[in-house]
Structure 1
Amino acid sequence: MYRSNTPYISFQYKTQDYLNLNLSTNSDETTFRIAVDIFIDRVRSRFLDQIHILATDCDRNGFSIMALECLLVETFAQFYDGIDDTVGVSKTKYVDFLTSNLHCFPSRTAAIRFYSDIRCGILHQAQSKPRSALTFNKTTAIEFANSFLMVSVDRFVEEMDTYFHNYCHDLQNPNNVLLRSNFIQKMDYI
């Protein structure tokens, strides 16, 4: 995003603010904390704040919420794996991320169905596919039975919020060298 001909990496931070950090896995904790703050501001200001506004009426806004959440899943997968994009490996990376990092998926089959029926359905056809549905106010985010996938939008938002919080917390640990290295790879690409 550009404001006054200046590129911004997030709402509050200019791209140059991040570049000036010269971030590496050996950066001191203050420098790394600033980088994580930039990431948090980027995700919150561009996506999570809007999701939470829409979530005040999940029944009306479920498809819009899930479109944003599906976008974030792919983005979080790229940060987690330290890859620039998922061209050619989107399905694999997406499903791997869902099954490894979101604890609401009962099986890999359910995650594959989420990818095809929810992610691809909403992002490519503006609909969920016939073997799936969006709902809200369920006890779990994902229900998968008799080959039918039910996604509780409000619970899925909670799952993603928890993941985001835990990921940002884990980035603060200097012993998480691979996580930090992957984070830097993606941030540098951005």
Structure 2
Amino acid sequence: MTRQILDIDFWTTKRQVVRNSYEISEHWNEIIERFKSRIEDFYFSPIDKVKDPNKLKGEGFTILTIQCALIEMFAAFKYGKIHKFNKSGNDLNFTYKRADECFIPFLHSEPIFENHFFKFDNGNKLDDQPFSATEFYNKVRCGLMHEARTKGEWVINAKKTYKGDEVVFLTRDTVTNRISIDRTILNKQLKKYFEDYLFSISENTADGNRLRRLFARKLDHLYDIPADNNYDWWNDN
């Protein structure tokens, strides 16, 4: 049986049904399930097809480029932010011009990035510890997106075998000072984030309602549906 993916025809119909109503329902559940299929089929499955032969012959560049795109997409969906490269002072507050406006705060806040881009010390949150989120954005994300390379001391790595319980995907070589990004462990962590996000937007709670509202705004934008204040999710808050 062919999996049903959230496409423009489906969303155009469903958005009329869930308009201004964020309580969890069978309609929201179907939307979320189709969104899950879309991300898995368009992103995670292709990554696995590149990754699983495990030849370790440079495929990490392709994998990490896609992962960086996913990080920004995940951030934008969670925050309900919309990228607008020519943003002006008159634009709505939820638009952003620079990708780092979404990307870096996401690295500084999500649990999968704890002890990578932030840590807690005696109850105090320390950003950019032990690694700099800004450097990751500039030297990895931007390097891959714009120049098809990583910059400076940042390198991509992977192993032939894993125990299965690894969560640390950034390590520094104290001799060469190189920072190694394990793209296989990062991929596992991004899948975990996505599972947690799907759970959060499926919850019948006030926070679940809030996340579904931001989610709906992003789906409109995904399919180039213009802002419409008759739909509450386009209100600037």
Decide: shared fold, TM above 0.5.
Answer: yes
- Shift in Å, 1:55: 1.4
- TM-fit CA distance, 1:12: 3.4
- Which deviates the most, 147-156 or 19-28? 19-28
Provide the residue aligned with 1:16 in structure 2.
9
Residues of 1 paired with 2:188 and 2:13: CA distance?
34
2:205 aligned with 1:183: no
| CA distance in structure 2 between the aligned counterparts of 1:35 and 1:120, rounded to whole angstroms | 32
SS where residue 71 of structure 1 aligns? Answer: helix
The 1-side partners of 2:103 and 2:218 are apart by 16
For 1:133-148, what aligned pairs fall within 5 Å after superposition? 133-137=155-159, 139=166, 140-144=168-172, 148=178
Give CA-to-partner distance per residue, 1:55-88, whole Å, 9 cap, x none: 1127231000001101111111110110122642
Q: For residues 64-121 of structure 1, what are the alpha-carbon distances to aligned partners after superposition, in whole Å with 9 as ceiling and x for unaligned? A: 0001101111111110110122642311310111121233524343211111111011
Of residues 63, 67, 81, the one that matches 1:69 is 67
Give me the whole-angstrom Cα distance separating, in 2, the residues matched to 1:144 and 1:92.
26
Q: Which has the larger displacement, 14-23 or 154-163?
A: 14-23
Do the aligned partners of 1:63 and 1:122 also contact (CA within 8 Å) in 2? yes
State the structure with more CA Rg. Answer: 2
Counterpart for residue 31 of structure 1: 27
CA–CA separation in structure 1 for the residues paired with 2:117 and 2:35: 30
The alignment partner of 1:151 has SS state of strand
Stretch of structure 1 that moved more, 101-110 or 55-64 = 101-110
Q: Which whole-Å CA distance do the structure 1 matches of 2:55 and 2:133 have between them? A: 22
Secondary structure of the structure 2 residue equivalent to 1:100: coil
Judge conservation of contact 1:141–1:153 (CA < 8 Å) in 2: yes
Pairing 1:78–2:76 present? yes
Contact map agreement 2:104 2:133 (CA 8 A) in 1: yes
Q: How many residues are treated as equivalent by the alignment?
A: 181
Distance 1:90 1:13 in 2: 25
How much has 1:143 moved relative to structure 2?
A: 2.3
**Residue 91, structure 1, aligned to residue 100, structure 2:** yes
SS across alignment from 2:109: helix
More helix by share: 1
Distance in 1, matches of 2:211 and 2:173, equals 34
Q: Letter of the aligned partner of 1:103 in structure 2?
A: F
Distance 1:89 1:58 in 2: 35
- TM-score of the superposed pair, with normalisation by structure 2: 0.69
* Alpha-carbon offset, residue 54 of structure 1: 1.2
Structure 1's 183 and 51: CA in aligned 2 closer, same or farther, altered over 3 A? same
- Which one of 113, 120, 128 corresponds to residue 103 of structure 1? 113
How far apart are 1:27 and its partner, in Å? 4.9
Counterpart selection for 1:124 from 146, 166, 169 = 146
In structure 2, runs of 5+ residues without a counterpart are 86-96, 119-126, 223-237
TM-score, with structure 1 as normaliser: 0.85
Paired with 2:71 and 2:84, the residues of 1 have a C-alpha distance of 12
Cα 1:72–1:54 shift into 2, 3 Å: same
CA contact (8 A) 2:6 2:31 kept: no
